[in-house]
Amino acid sequence: MTAEQPHTAQHHTVRVNGADRSLSGVEPATNALDWLRGQGLTGAKEGCAEGECGACAVLVARSDGATGTEWTALNACLVPAAALDGQEVVTAEGLGTPTRLHPVQHEMAVRGGSQCGYCTPGFVCSMAAEYYRDGRVAAARPAGPGAHALQACGPNGFDLEALSGNLCRCTGYRPIRDAAWALGEPRADDPLAVRRAGSPPEATATRLEGRSGTYARPADLAEALALLAEHPEAVLVAGSTDRGVEVNLRGARSPFVIGIDRLPELRGLTVTTDAVEIGAALTLTEVERALAGRVPLLDEVFPQFASRLIRNGATIGGNIGTGSPIGDLPPALLALEAVVVLVGAEGEREVAMADYFTGYRQSVRRADELVRAVRIPLPLAGTTAFHKIAKRRFDDISSVAVAFALDVVDGVVQRARIGLGGVAATPVRALATEAALEGRAWSADTVQTASEVMETEGTPLDDHRASAAYRRAVLGTALQRLHAETAADAVGATHE
């Protein structure tokens, strides 16, 4: 079969709330939210069309990393409906009925977690994903005096970060939090809990054609590269958390879209004595869980990267592939001296992250190539940190992002790597600042001198997120903040 020959199985369906629904006639650019609402499932709403409000959240059956299924909450407004071909989806309507509410719906109702109700179905789906999370109940702890303090994890093990991508403008969040923290363990006969023991649907190859173009999901990497060779103008889509915004708000269309989010060759994660290699199509949630703290700098990035809803779909390859100067991962990967592994028809090649970006949303990646993996060399630096300055604490775009990776031995900076975002047309290394640190004492005097250098890094601009002067001021204080943090950690360790 050549890349242009149609697949024999053309019955494009999605199992929604236990019943198969056809994708026949769906345009490739149609998102899952519009398709579901067109099916009469109007619980999910469009609030922002860019993945910031969560009103569109639904549950999708995904792998739990072993042989079972995990119910994963996603923004339906961003995901192409075609990408759900052969998959299994549950909407708010599939969780309960007016006469028999799901436990999440019941707690939201009795605790006043809903007023206008516009956002409620999305909250319910995000809460349900956390309700069914394996290991949640095992993390439960007795409610103490601080049970209602501003904290992330409730006495029932419910992690409020699961709701970080859901926005409510009516209730305030206390009753929603109370509903989340009141949830017990799913019943043994709960069908969605039982479903977790089985395997999720396989991501089969598919092709949907419409008036506006074609969406193709290849079976493997070889087929993906063949499609790229035949369609050099094709748009590669993984989690669609960036592309979905372009489609929704700017009317972007492409004659050919290649879905690469489920390619097995792009979904591995290996750790050796020399490096950590992360598959480009792994979602950030999957990467976070699989690394399990092995890369502390990335552990600082993940909680500040958009929201759990976004991280459930966004991929590490996509964040690099878009080439945005304000992406959160590139500064960290620059500090970690990561290598981008590109693959094309002529084979693989490796490019240092520092050499990958060539201009605004431009890179060395050729039209016939895709990002296969990112490789982080080991051992890691001993002192790392990630500072993100944004208008909101969570679910926001950076004004400035700074990632540090320093090796300080006997009080002297032996090696310094600093990645910056939001201060140039591309993510950049703070090379002059690194040189001002290396070989010098990790002291207030050195930091003051290096901070003055750091203020001159990049070419920051004035825009609606921040002024150039503010961005330079942030750069000037970033090193001082890091030095203060490391000094405080040293004092704390001494007192322990």
Instruction: Return the HEC string of 251-318.
Output: CCCCCEEEECCCCHHHCCEEECCCEEEEECCCEHHHHHHHHCCCCHHHHHHHHHCCCHHHHCCCEHHH
Domain final residue pick, 313, 346, 377: 377
**390 and 339, same domain (yes or no):** no
The token pair at 299 is: 């552990």
| CA 489/CA 88 separation, integer angstroms | 47
The answer to whether position 248 is within a domain reads no
Q: Among residues 181, 202, 223, which one ends one of the domains?
A: 202
Task: Return phi, psi of residue 63, to 5°.
Answer: -65, 145
Residues 431, 351: one domain?
A: no
137 plus 165 within the same structural domain: yes
| Residue 302 · residue 288 · CB < 8 Å | yes
Spatial contact of 327 and 320, defined as CB atoms under 8 Å apart: yes
Contact yes or no for 122/128 (Cβ under 8 A): no
- 420 dihedral zone (left: phi>0; alpha: psi -120 to 50; beta): beta
Specify whether 284 is located in the same domain as 406: no
Residues 340 and 387 grouped into a single domain? no
Spatial CB neighbours of 3, under 8 Å, sequence gap ≥ 6: 218, 223, 226, 227, 229, 230
- Does 208 fall in a domain? no
Residues 280 and 317 sit within 8 Å (Cβ to Cβ):
yes
Model's pTM, two decimal places? 0.93
Q: What is the pLDDT of residue 488?
A: 66
| Residues 83 and 190 placed together within one structural domain of the fold | yes
| Whether residue 172 sits in one domain with residue 60 | yes
Q: How much is the pLDDT for 224? A: 97
Residue 254 lies in a domain: no
Claim to verify: residue 64 and residue 173 sit in the same structural domain = yes
Give the per-residue pLDDT at 106: 97
Q: What is the CATH number of the domain that holds 475?
A: 3.30.390.50
CATH number at residue 126: 3.10.20.30
Number of domains in the chain: 3
Structural domain that includes position 393 = 383-495
Q: Going by C-beta distance under 8 Å and a sequence separation of 6 or more, which residues neighbour residue 425?
A: 325, 359, 360, 459
> Tokens 């930091």 correspond to what residue?
447
Mean pLDDT by 10 residues, the chain (496 residues): 44 95 95 98 97 97 95 98 97 94 97 95 98 86 47 88 94 93 95 97 93 95 97 96 96 96 96 98 97 97 95 97 94 98 96 97 96 98 96 87 97 98 97 98 97 97 93 96 84 48
Domain boundary among 152, 182, 202: 202
Is residue 246 in some structural domain? no
Residue 348 lies in a domain: yes
CATH number where 299 lies:
3.30.465.10
Evaluate whether residue 216 is within a structural domain.
Answer: no
Let me know: does 28 contact 252? Beta carbons within 8 Å.
no
Same domain, 141 and 50: yes
Q: Establish if 217 belongs to a structural domain.
A: no
